[in-house]
A and B are shown apart, each in its own frame.
Chain A
C-alpha cells in the first residue's frame, strides 16, 4: 500500500516535471543543434552533435547584442526611477495627513486596472508631437507611468509596517524628514523594495507592445521586440531564434533564482491576510 502511494507520487512528480521542463528543454536543445539536425525526421530528442553556431550567429551577425544592451539599460533605469518616485509617494502616504490623500489613493487604485490599450494611441500621438518616438526616454517614461500605481500601492503596504517610533527617535536626534526616509525607512523596507523592483524588472524586460510601437529604428529596439521582428520575416530561422530565446530568458531566470524568496514573499504578502 505504501509503495503504491510512493509510486503514485513519483508519477505525479514526473508528469509535472515533464510538462514544465520539456518545452524549456526543447528550446535549449534546438538552440544547440546544428541547422540540418533541427529539421531531422525523426526529430532527435537528444542532439547527436552539439553546436554553438546559432549562438555565434546571434552574437556576431545579428543585432541581438544591441537589443540586449538596450533592454538592460531601459530596464535598469525604469526600476531605479520607479523605486525612487514610488518610495517618496509611499512615504508621504504613510507618514503624513494631507488634503487630497484619499483622492490620490483612489486614483492609484483605478490606474492599476487601466488597460494599456487606452494609452497606446494617445501616447503614440503625444510622443510623435514631441518628436520623441524612437527614443529610450519615451519607453522609460511610459513604463514608469504604467508601473508606478502598482509600486506605490505595494510600497505603501510595506511602509505601513515600519513603526513610527523610529521616526520620532530620529527626529529628536536631529534627522530631517527626508533623512528619515533615506536612513531609516528604506533600509527597513528592503524586502518590499526588492519585491517591487523585481516585479518591475520582469515586466519591463519582456514588454513588447509599447516598445514595438514607439520604436522602429533597428538599433533602438528592445530584446523582445527585436526577437519578434525576426519571426515575421519570410522564412523563420528557428536555430538563431531559439538561441535568442535562451539569451532573453537567462537574465530573468538568474535574477529569479537569486531573489526567489523575496519575490515569492512579496507576491503573496497580501494573499494570506485577505
Chain B
C-alpha cells in the first residue's frame, strides 16, 4: 500500500518537474496566443468576408476583397508612395547616421555631449515631433518659410504639407530628422569597436581619411548596416504617427502609405474586409523584406 502511494507521489512530482518550463512560458503563450495569433487568423477570416460596418450581413466572398484592393486605382499610388517613403527614408537616415557617427567617433571631449544631443529627436514622442514640425512648416506663419524668405532663398511662402508635390518629400525629411539617431547610435557602437591599431596601421601606410573610412571602417560596419537596415526598413514601412498627425494621408492621397491607407479603409470607410485584405498584403510584403534576416536568425537559434 505504502509502496504504491510512494510511487504515485514520485510520478506526480516528476510530472510537476517536467511541467516547470511550460509553466514559466505559459503566461506569455496565453497573452500572445489570444492577442497576436488569434487576431491574425481572425484577420484572415475577416478578409474573406464582405465585412462593412454599415451592413449587418457578412457573407463569405472568397478573395473578392483582395481583388478589389489590388485592382483599386489607388493601390498602385499607395504602393509607389510606400516605396518612396521607405527607400528614400531609410537611405537618408543611413547616410546621415553614417556621417554623424564618423564625425562624433573622432571627437574626444565633445563625444558625450554630441551623442546625447543627436539622440534627442529619437526620444521625442512621435506626436510631439509631428505637431512641432507642422507648426514650423505652416505655410503662412511658419518659421521655416519666414527664414527662407528673409534669406531670399524663396520669394513666396511654400505650402510644405499642403501641396501634392511637396508633402511627401517634406514628410520624408521630417522622418529622417526623427529616425536617423538610431542609425547613428548603432554605427557609433560599431565604430568604437574597431581596434585602434588597425586605423593606425592604415595611417602609417599612408591612407587618408577617406581611405580609412572606405577600406577599414565601412567593411567593419557592414554586418551592422545589414541588421539595422532591416529593422529600420520595417519601422519606416509601418510608421504611422507622423503622417497621420500631419496630413492623414492627404492632400489627394499623396502621402497615403500602406499603414495609413489600411487604417483609413477600416476606420474612415468602415470596410473591415478590404482593410484586412490590405493588412495581409502588408504582412506578405514585410515577410519578403525580412526573409534574409529571419533566415539568418533562425540559423543562429538552431546553433
Name A residues whose Cβ lies closer than 8 Å to a Cβ of B.
Answer: 9, 12-13, 16-17, 19-21, 23-24, 26-27, 30, 39, 41-43, 84-86, 88-89, 91-93, 95-98, 101-102, 104-107, 109-111, 113-126, 141-142, 144-146, 148-149, 152, 177, 202, 205-206, 208-209, 213, 224, 227-228, 231, 238, 241-242, 245, 248-249, 252-253, 256-257, 260, 264, 267-268, 270-272, 274
Contact = CB atoms under 8 A, between A and B. Distances in A.
Interface string B62-85: 000000000000000000000000
B143 interface: yes
B294 A88 contact: no
B54 to A, nearest CB: 15
Contacts of A27: 128, 132, 135
Contact of B283 (A88, A91, A115): A115
Interface of B: 18, 20-22, 24-25, 27-29, 31-32, 34-40, 42-43, 46, 100, 103, 107, 110, 114-121, 123-128, 131-136, 141, 143, 146, 150, 177, 182, 185-186, 188-190, 192-193, 223-224, 227-228, 234, 237-238, 240-241, 244-245, 258-259, 262-263, 266-267, 272, 275-276, 278-280, 282-283, 286-287, 290, 294, 297-298, 301-302
A209 B36 contact: no
Interface majority SS (helix, strand, loop, mixed), chain A? helix
B282 A92 contact: no
B123 A89 contact: no
Given A42-B146, A231-B131, A253-B123, A272 B193 contact: yes
A23 B185 contact: no
Interface majority SS (helix, strand, loop, mixed), chain B? helix
A122 B276 contact: yes
Contacts of A231: 131, 134, 245
A202 B123 contact: yes
A98 B24 CA distance: 11
A271 B259 contact: no
A208 B126 contact: yes
A43 to B, nearest CB: 6
Given A228-B127, A242-B135, A268 B32 contact: no
Contact of A122 (B25, B39, B125): B39
A92 B21 contact: yes
A227 B27 CA distance: 34
B21, B238, B302 pick with most chain A CB within 10 angstroms: B21
Contact of A268 (B40, B186, B286): B186
A245 B103 contact: no
Nearest to A151: B28
A117 B131 contact: no
